[in-house]
Structure 1
Amino acid sequence: MPAEAGAVAAEAGAVAVDAARWPDVARPPKASRARTAITAAVVRRALRDLPLHVRFPDGTSLGKGGPVLDLRDPRAFHARVGSQGLVGFGESYMAGEWDAPDLVAALTVLAARMGELIPAPLQRLRGVWAQRRPDAQRNTPGGSRTNISSHYDLSNDLFALFLDDTLSYSSALFRGFPADWDLLAAAQHRKIDRLLDLADVREGTRVLEIGTGWGELAIRAAARGAHVTSLTLSREQAALARERAAAAGVAERVSVELCDYREARGTYDAVLSVEMVEAVGAEFWPVYFRVLDERLAPGGRAALQAITMPHERMLAARDTFTWISKYVFPGGLIPSVEAVAETVRDHTQLSVTRRDAYGAHYAETLRLWRERFTGRADEVAALGFDETFRRLWTFYLAYSEAGFRSGYLDVQQYLLTKEATPR
């Protein structure tokens, strides 16, 4: 993704953007003076009462003090936010039109007040101004393959630059805070082992894993003597997971299949799925949980790890085209605790036997990933990822970390059980 001759710079001169690669970032959308002025007034009203210090190019500032947010190009920022809401907010950061010395701190302030930033009258008109999710991102079998590939097939080498040696791309479980990079791999194993214990995985257990990642859970399950069938739609992940299973000496007990979860067959004693439900989409949550039910033998146990968000915010976001769905996880939607409970209750014979939340651990996991990613920016660039991509991923990791630090996001480990005698 190297920048080409057609790159253009944001007005503030901060970032040269390849217009061919990033057309919606290269130039702000055209917006009328009236719309831009209205947006500026709404933004200023929202910012003036926040514990932020918002600095403008003319030397003026807003806010009640706190983390600094530098608004380098207010006109472009207001044009983007007025036309595209939070999508424009993220694209404005990618373009360098605003920045923050402590990005996570600034975003945490905003995340903690997510439901209050837009005035109530505009919230009620959300269906008019918010962009709708494109049909192309629906998680049909074909759509899921495209959506998964766009993120997980970027480059195994890219993920290896900021993940620990386990290549686990989900929340770790630490003994205490602050977390240290040298303890991350052990914390990932602690998370995996807890899920395996919840599912009672042991010698001879037949395990179905939905969402392979790079294979660490399957490898650890096989090391206990289990036989694992692991499903993924990512060719990059599948290839490396097989290599890692072979290197660990458990290839004969791990089968990694390029297969949609809806195509799974057979019966298993345990089903495990780590941060997969977020990629399914609300439309297909009933299908996903029915697959867990159908593949699980009577008396079996399913252990899931899932990111969750407040129910009312999930309902507002479920049909909206967000910055995350545009640039990071197309087709994705984070469920609420209520949505998981309702779907399990209404569409399966499973019972939610246990649920444990540990969002603070995800904030620390993301901090370690973000610091590693930004600290190895030169190596990311050497892989062919340009500055706009690096700002995109820095924003994604910081935005996610802020969500957990503010309590807007949480992460849960679930135990779902199936009665030995069907109801």
Structure 2
Amino acid sequence: MRTAEPRIAPGGRAGTVDPARWPDVAAVPRASRARRAVTEAVVRRALSGLPLRVRFAGSDTVGLGGPLLEVRDPDRFHARVGTAGLVGFGESYLAGEWDAPDPVAALTVLAAHAADLVPAPLQRLRRLWALRRPHEERNTPDGSRANISRHYDLSNDLFALFLDDTLSYSSALFRGFPATWDLLAAAQHRKIDRLLDLARVGGGTRLLEIGTGWGELALRAAARGARVTSLTLSQEQRALARERVRAAGREDRVTIELCDYREARGTYDAVVSVEMVEAVGAEFWPAYFRTLDERLAPGGRVALQAITMPHERMLASRDTFTWIHKYVFPGGLIPSGQAVEETVREHTRLVPARRDAFGAHYAETLRLWRERFTERAPQVAALGFDDTFRRMWTFYLAYSEAGFRSGYLDVQQYLFTKEDSVR
């Protein structure tokens, strides 16, 4: 049971959260004194050995030194963590019950030690205490449409506020660091061009793109002379991508369909899919990779960009309901590199030919998005997104950036061939 109570707003002022929009942020879960005490003991033990400074209001500071994390309301913080684990940790941030001068730095430490935060005995009992994924968020054809819509149909105008002019919502590929905003569009084109080069997309290529985004890759392929069929489940993305195709005069070369990958038909010389597999779910990875295989002509090439995580961590958390699932990407699961290659080997005729990792580039991409989003907070508010949403989105970007900075997450570009077409 949860009780609605005032929260501590960002900046320490008392405020309220819209309980209709954010019920589990507005309400603090009821937790017994014993549960809170056990949670506090486990949390303090976990944090005391980390290179962090965790300051509990009205109490002491634990940790070995490093980035500061301030717990402003320890009772509510422990109630949420003790009831909902990492989901509660994120909700406590949305409620303003904890904060950090540099959230990315603090979250990077936590991400780097993710495997050790929960004591081994509790890890073995994970199935008993970890929240389970809702059945309705399975990535069936209908479930996928609902899951995709909850994120990508939020508002094209919202995404345009923090993405660069290419509207690319995936990792860029920079020439070097530090990355700056004025280099982001070129770095996104570099990423796209590298994928198209891997797939050998050129004049006359029949290209299937699974996951349209807002159309930049399709436009770039069409400029090379390819004929592109691009699939999306997002109504909003499709509408804007079609508008961009018309504005570029590429309607004769680009077709954008509102279509599940499982419903794709035809044969293509190349297939490209950018950060789509993370939305598929482990249950449907075989179907996804079989689609790449079945749609690809003999001698064709698949270029895939995918976020990955360590295999052991994927196995440990694959059935767990996380803060990201609840608030950002319902139904998602980041695969491991091992899972990708095993699925391809066991369910397709595709041959892994190349893999390149560039996780540090994603960290920089996310930093630039986060800084842009923060700078444009008034415009975000003008679109009708409240303070809690803006805090949630900032946390999502910081949380993701920390994953890449810590090495917990990586991003890969894969090349798969059919009938060993590489010479």
TM-score range, shorter chain: over 0.9
Q: SS at 1:173's partner residue?
A: coil
What residue number does 2:212 align with? 212
Matching residue's letter, 2:115: G
Structure 1 runs of 4+ with >6 Å offset? none
Give 1:295-334 correspondences, 5 Å limit: 295-334=295-334
Task: Trace 1:100-119 onto structure 2 (pairs within 5 A).
Answer: 100-119=100-119
Map Cα deviations across residues 124-179 of structure 1 (whole Å, 9 max, x no partner).
00000001111110000000000000000000000000000000000000000010
Q: Secondary structure at the match of 1:212?
A: coil
Partner residue in 2 for 1:254: 254
**Alignment partner of 1:67 is 2:63:** no
Q: Which residue of 1 aligns with 2:341?
A: 341
Distance 1:344 1:382, change over 3 A: same
**Secondary structure class of the residue paired with 1:197:** helix
1:39-78 mapped onto 2 (5 Å cutoff): 39-58=39-58, 60-78=60-78
Query: Partner letter of residue 268 of structure 1?
Result: Y
Report what 2:387 is aligned to: 387
Q: Hey, what's the Cα distance between the residues in 1 that align with 2:320 and 2:122? A: 15
Partner of 2:378 in structure 1?
A: 378
Question: How far apart are the structure 2 equivalents of 1:285 and 1:241?
Answer: 26
**What's the CA shift for 1:66?**
0.7
Q: Distance in 1 between matches of 2:208 and 2:270?
A: 6
The 5 A counterparts of 1:359-378 are 359-378=359-378
SS in 1 for 2:114: coil
> What is the DSSP-based 3-state SS (H/G/I as helix, E as strand, rest coil) of the residue aligned with 2:17?
strand
Q: Which moved more, 1:57-66 or 1:245-254?
A: 57-66
SS in 2 for 1:35: helix
Contact 1:15 1:387 in 2 (8 A): no
- 1:10: how far off? 3.9
- What is the match of residue 25 of structure 1? 25
1:50 positional shift = 1.1
Structural mapping, 1:274-289, within 5 Å? 274-289=274-289
User: Whole-Å Cα distance in 1 between the matches of residues 35 and 242 of structure 2?
Assistant: 54
Aligned to 1:173: 173
Structure 2 counterpart of 1:93, which letter? Answer: Y
Worse overlay, 210-219 or 6-15: 6-15
Cα distance per residue 1:212-252 (max 9 Å; x no partner): 00000000000000000000000000010011111112121
Residue 9 of structure 1 pairs with residue 7 of structure 2: yes
Determine the C-alpha separation between the residues in 2 that align with 1:256 and 1:342.
Answer: 31
Q: Residues 184-233 of structure 1, C-alpha deviation per residue, up to 9 Å, x if partnerless?
A: 00000000000000000000000000000000000000000000000000
* Matches of 2:17 and 2:185, distance apart in 1: 36
Q: Distance in 2 between the 1:402 and 1:299 partners?
A: 39
Are the structure 2 counterparts of residues 403 and 14 from structure 1 closer, same or farther at C-alpha, using a change threshold of 3 Å? farther
DSSP-derived class of the 1:165 partner = coil
Q: Is the 8 A contact 2:6 2:14 kept in 1?
A: no
TM-score, structure 2 normalization: 0.97
Amino acid at match of 2:324: I
- Superposed CA RMSD in Å reads 1.3
SS in 1 for 2:400: helix
User: Structure 2 CA distance, aligned partners of 1:110 and 1:52?
Assistant: 9
Name the residue aligned to 1:121.
Answer: 121
Structure 2: unaligned runs, 5 residues or longer: none
Q: State the identity as a percent.
A: 79
- State the distance in 2 between where 1:246 and 1:218 align: 12
Q: SS state of the match for residue 374, structure 1?
A: helix
Cα offset, 1:313, TM superposition: 0.8
2:352 counterpart SS class = strand
Q: Deviations over 1:350-377 (max 9, x none)?
A: 0110000000000000000000011111
Secondary structure of 2:116's counterpart equals coil
Aligned residue in 2 for 1:3: none
Query: d(CA) in 2 for partners of 1:51 and 1:117?
Result: 13
Superposed displacement of residue 28, structure 1: 1.5
The residue correspondences of 1:159-170 to structure 2 (distance < 5 A) are 159-170=159-170
SS at match of 1:251: coil
Deviations, residues 308-361 of structure 1 (Å, cap 9, x unaligned):
000111111111111111110000000000000100000000011000000000
Q: Deviations over 1:27-84 (max 9, x none)?
A: 2111111011000001011111111111122152111111110100101010111111
Asked if the contact 1:207/1:272 (under 8 Å) is kept, the reply is: yes
TM-superposed deviation, 1:15? 4.6
Letter in 2 for 1:198: L
Residues 15, 65 of structure 1: alpha-carbon distance in 2 compared, 3 angstrom cutoff: farther
Tell me if structure 2 keeps the 8 A contact 1:10–1:17: no
Decide whether the 8 Å contact of 1:230 with 1:257 is kept in 2: yes
The equivalent residue for 1:403 is 403
Instruction: Give 3-state SS (helix, strand or coil) of 1:37's partner.
Output: helix
The equivalent residue for 1:158 is: 158
Matched-pair contact (CA < 8 Å) for 1:147–1:331: yes
Q: Aligned residue pairs: how many?
A: 416
Matches within 5 A, 1:116-155: 116-155=116-155
Q: Which residue of 2 aligns with 1:96?
A: 96
CA contact (8 A) 2:5 2:28 kept: no
Q: Is the 8 A contact 1:272 1:304 kept in 2?
A: yes
- Contact map agreement 1:112 1:407 (CA 8 A) in 2: yes
The 1-side partners of 2:162 and 2:420 are apart by 43
Q: Is the 8 A contact 1:222 1:228 kept in 2?
A: yes
